[in-house]
Chain A
Amino acid sequence: MFWEGVRDGTPFIVMVGPFALLFGVVAAELGLSLAETLGFSTLVIAGAAQFATLELLDAGAPVSVAVGTGLAVNLRMALYSASLVPYLGALALLRFQGREEPQASRLAYYAGAAAPICGIWILACALGAQAQSTVAAVPGLDFAVPLTFLAMVTPMLKDWPSVAAAVVAMGLAILGHQLPLNSGMLLAVAGGMVTGATLEGRREAHG
């Protein structure tokens, strides 16, 4: 089952590889050592949150805001966690020995699928960090992170509540960008979330 997972997970390296390279380049550009870059990529393994946290630290935000924003970006993973429960069961710690056969093989499949993706994520981050001095001369590379965020958000703008949430968050971030400690960011995120959820609720009520 492990190797079936590896086979099914491998195509995703096409998606993950370029972002990992970019993270390596951006992190090195901001002066992170290779160890620090790989610390991010092996301990966090979440590109969007890594980019967001680095971006805020670079902007001089306090650690609490940088980490808080990174975690907010990752909150959606609670949904993934919940959606995996029917397949993997509740894998509470120390219950591995008594595992029933189908669950054990599903876990092997999952580990197999994750292996090439995590592997390429870490490897390409290291490559990007090493290549930074070569590509640093490319003009406009400083703007890669904002453009990456924009590119990532476009496939999510598939209904009006999502578009409204994005527009409100953008507007509040612009209005609040002078607020101390980058707190305008958090207000903007909260405003966007409430806008989206409210509009969705209203649409359902009318729907």
Chain B
Amino acid sequence: MAELAPGTLWFTIAALGLGTYLIRFSFLGFLGGRTLPPLALRLLRYVPVAVFPALVAPQVLWPTATGGEFDAPRLLAALCTLLVGLWRRNVLLALGAGLGLLLVLELLRGL
């Protein structure tokens, strides 16, 4: 973890917790049965499919663990997770396959 000023982490937790609560409370608490404009709904639908690939892509090419050096086992593990996920549509299975492959490749590298 990068060095954080004291209290920064708790501030982050509190801000994320409060913001998340307000998002969850939005329609139930404030907006009632009102609906969002169609464009907003349409944009919101694509938040998760945009956020996760955007977080992952730099990590796959420049992993933190290798100090930002490209690492073939990690790229292969990522591809394995993606393919198993697309094939079986099972999140835990896909994660297990990718982590398992990386474990095997790391053990082989140690030989």
Binding site for B on A (CB under 8 A): 15, 18, 30-32, 36, 39-40, 43-46, 48-50, 52-53, 55-60, 63, 66-67, 69-82, 84-86, 88, 90-93, 138-157, 161-162, 165-174, 177, 185, 188-197, 200-201
Contact = CB atoms under 8 A, between A and B. Distances in A.
Interface centre among B11, B54, B63, B77 (most CB of A within 10 A): B54
A41 to B, nearest CB: 10
B111 interface: no
Contacts of A39: 10, 13
Interface of B: 1-2, 4, 8-17, 19-20, 23-33, 35-36, 39, 41-65, 73-74, 77-78, 81-82, 85-86, 89, 91-92, 94-95, 98-99, 102-103, 105-107, 110
Interface centre among B49, B57, B63, B103 (most CB of A within 10 A): B49
A151 B98 contact: yes
27 contacts: A44-B13, A52-B55, A58-B2, A63-B12, A63-B15, A71-B23, A78-B24, A90-B31, A92-B29, A138-B103, A139-B106, A140-B99, A143-B59, A143-B99, A147-B99, A149-B53, A149-B55, A153-B52, A153-B85, A154-B89, A154-B91, A170-B53, A185-B54, A189-B47, A193-B50, A196-B42, A196-B43
Nearest to A174: B57
A161 B16 CA distance: 29
Contacts, number: 281
Contacts of A155: 85, 89, 91
Given A57-B1, A166-B49, A166-B50, A44 B16 contact: yes
A78 B55 contact: no
Contacts of A174: 57-58, 61
Contacts of B51: 52, 69, 72-73, 169, 189, 192
A146 B59 contact: yes
A147 B95 contact: yes
B49 A79 contact: no
A74 B55 contact: no
Given A49-B16, A90-B32, A140-B99, A177 B92 contact: no
B78 A197 contact: no
B51 to A, nearest CB: 5
Contact of B57 (A52, A69, A173, A196): A173
A88 B28 contact: yes
A193 B27 CA distance: 22
Contact of A73 (B14, B47, B86): B47
B35 to A, nearest CB: 7
B103 A139 contact: yes
